[in-house]
A and B are shown apart, each in its own frame.
Chain A
Amino acid sequence: MTELNTLGLAEARDALRKGDTTSKELTQACLSAIEGAGALNAFVHHTPEIAMKQADAADIRIKAGDAPDMCGLPLGIKDLFCTKDVPSQAGSRILEGFLPQYESTITSNLFGAGAVMLGKLNMDEFAMGSSNETSVYGNVINPWKVDDRDLTPGGSSGGSASAVAADLCLAATGTDTGGSIRQPAAFTGTVGIKPTYGRCSRWGVVAFASSLDQAGPMTKSVRDAAIMLEAMCSHDPKDSTSVDLAVPNFEALMTGDIRGKKIGIPKEYRMEGMPAEIEKLWADGAAMMKDAGAEIVDISLPHTKYALPAYYVIAPAEASSNLARYDGVRYGHRATLAAGDGVTEMYEKTRAEGFGPEVQRRVMIGTYVLSAGFYDAYYNRARRVRTLIKKDFEDVFAQGIDAILTPATPSSAFGLGEMTDVDPVQMYLNDVFTVTVNMAGLPGIAVPAGLDEKGLPLGLQLIGRPWEEGDLLSSAYALERAAGFVAKPSKWW
């Protein structure tokens, strides 16, 4: 039998059902893989005791014969999710020592279904970053390697992507505000789906930009994504934007039959200076979907170019408001004060010590665009542009488009430290293909589709209609089958 930690969710579920293995064995295999993978710096808080306890409970449930799909399957949990009595720091120094006294709705759903938590996963601080270089825990390393450089796994869910790609867990949770699930998935040859805004409860997930944040699964296959997404979704009265819609059996909807479906190719995504390899991958993807029976249609999303600048108004604005709560009073870090320091000095010193440079930068940009005199010029204008971005998508869906195919990222994984000396905007461009989806609240999935000439994975993105994740997963399954991506990083860690 193959090593148990290399299994996906579906294979492991089926093996558990047949009695070929136990959750305990699966969990132990993952725990030893994690132990041997310190060099990747993906897991930052280890919870083996919790894992073994959950695994034992899962094995009893499986034996009793009424176990849900996720029962007994070992997962990594992004550090952004509050997990009761387990450190949940959002990759930030300001939440050092914070032990949530409650469980996020999503982790409650997963653990309620019998899933096992192996530990917490590294990420960019407060999910702000595209390379996992802003974390208080240090950089995450991509298991993919083609020369002596250490490569980024992408961000902000870099720990999740690295852990899944390196088979340290069967799957992981991620969150996506501008591409933080899909970009790291593409950089590591894994699958990541961001569902429609409102599908997954945000309760207990540390907030970055509340109108854009959505959680989703990061997995080894499209089928696994369907299985885990269903377990994560629920209507939650504790999140006022959570949607009261039945959660379908996504796996059952995933037929992979795309005959007659209309797949849109947006001309605005053909960016100037796009690497030929990305362009080819995209064309190949379209050809594969055509071969599978879909109709390929050229479409236009005219406001695409403005999504990223609008995002860099809206996301920092919401972050500046959300992160105001880190004041050294109720939880987390408080700076040591000098004699005579008042409450304002406490706030200022605490936040200067607790937040890293990128978080400080975004909080201050957000403060600026919301400040008196600039609110209309920046914030309200960005919200108007956001309305237009969403309308672009509504127009093409009204024309009968079922899904939109785009590249997931403008390049393959780059070297850690290579973007340090460029201005912040260059780093922001990583999200150019993914951010539109958050701005419009739509579901989007990254599927590994090939290797570049260096041998690094590249991903394609499919964007679906709101609430139709089942249909989107079905198209993604067709693409996955046609692309036949099976490469794995060879173990060096």
Chain B
Amino acid sequence: MSIDQNTAARVAKLARIKVEEAALPALAEEFNTILGFIEQLNEVDVEGVEPMTSVTPQRLKRRADVVSDGNQPEAVMKNAPDAREGFFAVPKVVE
């Protein structure tokens, strides 16, 4: 399995990280090194083995579906790079 520059560009796009064209060859090479290391997993016989969903035997806890917190819009907005009138502001999304 080898990653070319197009794949590297596609992954960067999926991850929403801007990568300059010039940086793609080195990135693709790094991916290949890491994926080459991961390839060892193909040696393991995993026939009939369940993928782990929880490392401890307990199941996820449940609670009543009720409001347990809230009513603090100032605290929620406090760290926003751009907040206006109680909303997070972002560039135009819909034309």
Q: Which residues of A contact B (CB under 8 A)?
A: 97-99, 101-102, 196-198, 211, 237, 240-241, 243-244, 303, 305-306, 308-310, 312-313, 320, 324, 327-334, 337, 341-349, 351-352, 355, 360-361, 363-369, 371, 378, 380-388, 390, 423-425, 428, 439-441, 466
Contacts and interface: CB of A to CB of B under 8 A. Distances in A.
A423 B55 contact: no
A225 B12 CA distance: 42
Contacts of B16: 324, 327, 344, 347-348, 351
Contacts of A337: 91
A322 to B, nearest CB: 13
Contacts of B31: 364-365, 368
For the complex of A and B, list the 5 residue pairs with the smallest distance between their C-beta atoms, beginning with the closest: A441-B55, A383-B51, A331-B79, A334-B81, A384-B46
Contacts of A368: 3, 7, 11, 31, 35
A363 B33 contact: no
Contacts of A334: 81-82
A329 B46 contact: no
Contacts of B2: none
B16 to A, nearest CB: 4
Contact of A303 (B44, B79, B91, B92): B44
Interface in B14-68: 14-19, 27, 30-31, 33-35, 37-44, 46, 49-56, 58, 60-61, 63
Interface string B62-85: 010000000010011011111000
Contacts of B92: 342-343
A389 to B, nearest CB: 9
A365 B90 contact: no
Among A343, A355, A439, A466, the most chain B Cβ lie within 10 Å of the Cβ of A343
Interface residues of B, number: 51
Contact of B63 (A237, A333, A341, A439): A237
Contacts of A341: 91
Contacts, number: 169
A408 B82 CA distance: 46
Contact of B88 (A243, A330, A390): A330
A385 B41 contact: yes
Given A101-B75, A240-B61, A384-B46, A333 B33 contact: no
A352 B88 CA distance: 21
Contacts of B52: 383-384, 386-387, 390
Given A344-B16, A390-B52, A424 B93 contact: no
Given A364-B11, A365-B31, A197 B40 contact: no
A384 B92 CA distance: 43
Interface of B: 3, 7-8, 11-12, 14-19, 27, 30-31, 33-35, 37-44, 46, 49-56, 58, 60-61, 63, 72, 75-76, 78-82, 88, 90-93
A140 B56 CA distance: 34
Contacts of B43: 306
A241 B41 contact: no
Nearest to A341: B91
Contacts of A351: 15-18
A310 B40 CA distance: 9
B45 to A, nearest CB: 9
Nearest to B8: A364
A121 B60 CA distance: 32
A401 B40 CA distance: 29
B30 A361 contact: yes
Contact of A367 (B14, B37, B79): B14
B58 A198 contact: yes
Contacts of B91: 337, 341-343, 345-346
A304 to B, nearest CB: 12
Given A331-B80, A425-B33, A240 B60 contact: yes
A102 B79 CA distance: 12
A365 B34 contact: yes
B40 A98 contact: no
B41 A310 contact: yes
Contacts of B8: 364
A380 B11 contact: no
Among B14, B27, B88, the most chain A Cβ lie within 10 Å of the Cβ of B14
Among B18, B30, B61, B93, the most chain A Cβ lie within 10 Å of the Cβ of B18
A385 B38 contact: no
A86 B88 CA distance: 22
B81 A332 contact: yes
A381 B41 contact: yes
B30 A423 contact: yes
Contacts of B19: 352, 360
Contacts of B41: 306, 309-310, 313, 378, 381-382, 385
A305 B40 contact: yes
Contact of B93 (A342, A360, A371): A342
A75 to B, nearest CB: 25
A198 B51 contact: no
Contacts of A305: 40
